Amino acid sequence: MIVAFDVSGLKRLHWYQLLLRFVLGGAVTVCAGLVSRHWGPLIGGLFLAFPAIFPATATLLEQTQAERKRRHGLHGRRSGRKAAALDAAGAVLGGFALAAFGAVAWLALPRVGAFWGLCLSGLAWLLVALTLWWLRRHV
């Protein structure tokens, strides 16, 4: 299957879904900062890989898929859960890329500074994620 942009996905989004993600993302970032401040960066850093919005994304995905199936007169509960499982399967691959981001940031930040350090880490995340995705499909 070819990777593509599906703009119709935007029409299915509700404003409260966007707000929920914004608030959850902001809250987890604040929590990571507070943990780091009280217990040090060694412990605070663990929270940089906290599955911040995954529960909300999976739940909303299940609801949206189930709603779509119901509109066609079908029982959508199971289909919604399968859709969320597919999202989680992609996230497993993304998790390895997340570790690569951390490794590159650890090595690069003190050497090349914040801007280039974060650029290199982001690039490492993208490369590892796309490589694993390609391997998953072709090997």
Partner 1 sequence: MELVWRFLLGGAIVSAFSLLGDLLRPKRFAGLFSAAPSVAIASLSMTVVHHDSVIAAIEARSMIFGSVGFILYVWAVRRLLASGKWPSVTVSLAALTIWAVTACVSAVLLMRSGL
For partner 1, give the closer residue by CB, 10 or 73: 10
Q: Which of 22, 90, 104, 11 is nearest to 58 (CA)?
A: 90
**Residue 101 binds partner 1 (CB under 8 A):** yes
**Residue 76 binds partner 1 (CB under 8 A):** no
Cα–Cα dist 51/32, whole Å: 12
Of positions 82, 123, 127, 135, contacts partner 1 by CB under 8 A: 82
Q: Mask 24-63, x = binds partner 1 (CB under 8 A)?
A: xxxxxxx-xxx-x---xxxxxxxxxxxxxxxx-xxx-xx-
Cα–Cα dist 69/83, whole Å: 12
Of positions 14, 67, 74, 78, contacts partner 1 by CB under 8 A: 78
Dihedral pair phi/psi, residue 91, rounded to 5°: -70, -30
**Residue 131 binds partner 1 (CB under 8 A):** no
User: Based on the number of CB atoms within 10 Å of its own CB, is 11 exposed (0-12), middle (13-18) or buried (19 or more)?
Assistant: exposed
For partner 1, give the closer residue by CB, 67 or 82: 82
